[in-house]
Amino acid sequence: MTVEVSFLGGLGEIGRNCAAIEIKGKLALIDCGLMFPEEDMLGVDLVFPDWSWLLERAEDVECVILTHGHEDHVGSLAYFLNDLNVPVYGTELSVELARGRIEELGVDPDLRATETNEWIEHGPFKFMLVPVSHSIPQGAGVAFDTPEGLIVHSGDFKLDPTPIDSTPTDLPTFAHLGRRGVRLLLADSTNAERTGFVPSERSLAGPIERIVHTAPGRVIAACFASHVHRVQQIADAALDDGRTIAFLGRSMHRVTGVGSRLGVLDIPPDRIVDVEDLVGLPADRQMLITTGAQGEPFAALSLMASGSSKFVELNETDTVLISATPIPGNERAVSRVISKLHRTGARVYHGRNAHVHVSGHAAQEELKTFINVIRPDAYIPIHGEYRHLSANADLAEEMKVPLVFVLEDGDRVVLDGEDTFVERRAVPAGYVYLDGSGVGDTKRAVLRRRRHLADEGVVVITIGVNVDRCLIEYGPIMDSHGFMDEPDAVLAKAADAVRAAIQKMAEKGRKTDHSALQQTVRQAASTIIRSETSRRPVVLPLILET
């Protein structure tokens, strides 16, 4: 009886983590994450996996199993459940962080908070969540007991010996699974190029305390809202320094609210105020914990850096602490924000000039330890760009794992008796874009046109034509946007070319229907503009028939 694992996202990119495991013709989804748009994805809000083939097999889809509550693992779940509302399993924090977005979309979800280290049976699936240490509480790996042997998915993890919540990665349970015999191991690749071990989260306590305690005025700390342990350490430093705390940013309020309710975030309620009340306190009593550590243009920190925040105007007495590293692709945006922060005169601490951030993903020696504990028959690196996957595969080969496969989105691994093999491009795995409220409406061709507009600009030509006589009644009126600084001379030549082209149509008695006029106007104007400027703006003829 074959068991198959198909990858819808997360292999060759940071984000969109999603895989489907198939047993006895039934399917379970492991995570359902999103990816933030790259710079060339103009106008796109978010990027999702392509689950169209799952909808075609809707009756076979049994459930979704979450490893943890980060957006790159749960961010598209609401939209998937809107299409296919199946039960969702995960640790309590994972399902509660997912709940808000799901209910915002008007979906009534079946969320099942699950204890770790307990086998769960759902349809033909028997699985267990195994605790792992990560940059969010209640992260988990997933073990599947299948007819073809044990399959273990690491989730996002590291081997932190002193995690904030005292819940390290459960190596004894993973070792027990390894002794039983693991047929296939899927393991986090994000830090596979990084040598040694990742420092403990707890190692940040001292540096953060020193920054907060020596700050002459207000402290603004930015981090991922979901990094509850980091929020806790920043809050602890603030409380110890006698500061009052305010949170800023929608996701920060949402996550800290859930974390406080579930007891994974412990801040005395009487030490938390609204930001409007915080700014009225003496500056050296203020701690503002905010979003925007990734340089998002409309996030709170970016607005402060550009002087556009309605709450905070930075000055030389302020201290800004950015406790995060840029997601790949966000480096330039983060660098711009940091430069703007420095221009305000504030003291700025970030991952490159202070020990204020540690990764939540295992480095090489941790991965080797993990592989050695489990000793799988086959190994697939997951979660990362292709270079990360390749580096992880090298580690597994160094550890003498019998079979190591580097896969990409759309690939499938098949366990069939004694055989373990890969089917390339077995399922659709393209990008699905959320653009405004539309999911999947925006295609790559649309993005190409948007890039064309952004790079070359647009020229709009408004012209009134008597179709019967092929005679220009008024215009052409030439208007341009994003084309060039002083376009009048070029546009005047283009207008002359349009008049000449329509005159030639009249002299030749050519058909002057709407589409023929549009083509003639566009071609005449484009030829002149290209010859004069070597640029190719989008030319939009607006033909008004009289």
* Residue 366: closest CA among 201, 229, 227, 192: 192
Q: For residues 235-255, give the mean pLDDT.
A: 96
pLDDT computed for residue 510 by the predictor: 60
Q: Across 73-124, where does the E strand assignment appear? A: 88-90, 111-113, 120-122
Residue pair 119/323 in contact (Cβ under 8 Å)? The answer is no
What top-level class would CATH report for the domain 201-349?
A: alpha beta
Q: Give the residue range(s) of CATH 3.40.50.10710 domains in the chain.
A: 201-349
Return the CA Rg of the chain. Answer: 28
137-176, pLDDT tens digit by residue?
999 999 999 999 999 999 999 999 999 999 999 999 999 9
- Taking residue 161's Cβ as centre, other Cβ atoms within 10 Å add up to 10
When the pLDDT of each residue in the chain is averaged and rounded to a whole number, the result is 90
pLDDT computed for residue 38 by the predictor: 60
Copy the structure tokens of residue 56. 């075609």
Sheet holding 120-122, edge to edge: 120-122, 125-132, 139-146, 149-153, 182-188, 378-382, 403-404
Q: Give the residue range(s) of CATH 3.10.20.580 domains in the chain.
A: 457-545
Q: Across 208-295, where does the E strand assignment appear? A: 219-222, 244-248, 286-290
pLDDT at 290 over 60: yes
Which of the following is catalytic: 188, 409, 411, 435?
A: 188
Amino acid present at 172: P
453-512, pLDDT tens digit by residue?
455 678 888 888 877 777 787 788 888 877 777 788 888 888 999 888 888 887 776 656
pLDDT at 88 over 80: yes
Q: Give the residue range(s) of CATH 3.60.15.10 domains in the chain.
A: 3-196+359-439
Cis peptide before 297 (omega within 30 of 0): no
Alpha-carbon span 109 to 78, nearest angstrom: 9
Predicted structure pTM score: 0.81
CATH superfamily for 3-196+359-439 is: Ribonuclease Z/Hydroxyacylglutathione hydrolase-like (3.60.15.10)
520-543, pLDDT tens digit by residue?
888 888 888 888 887 778 788 888
Rounded to 5 degrees, what are φ and ψ at 116?
A: -80, 160
Which of the following is catalytic: 361, 383, 388, 435?
A: 361
Residue pair 7/19 in contact (Cβ under 8 Å)? The answer is yes
| CATH code assigned to 457-545 | 3.10.20.580
In the chain, the N- to C-terminal Cα span, in Å, equals: 72
pLDDT computed for residue 332 by the predictor: 85
CA angle 188, 190, 194 (to 5 degrees): 115
- Taking residue 396's Cβ as centre, other Cβ atoms within 10 Å add up to 25
Residue pair 135/359 in contact (Cβ under 8 Å)? The answer is yes
Does the active-site annotation cover 361?
Answer: yes
Three-state DSSP class for residue 208: helix
412-468, pLDDT tens digit by residue?
999 999 999 999 999 999 888 765 444 544 445 444 544 544 556 788 888 888 777
Does the active-site annotation cover 213?
Answer: no
- Taking residue 225's Cβ as centre, other Cβ atoms within 10 Å add up to 24
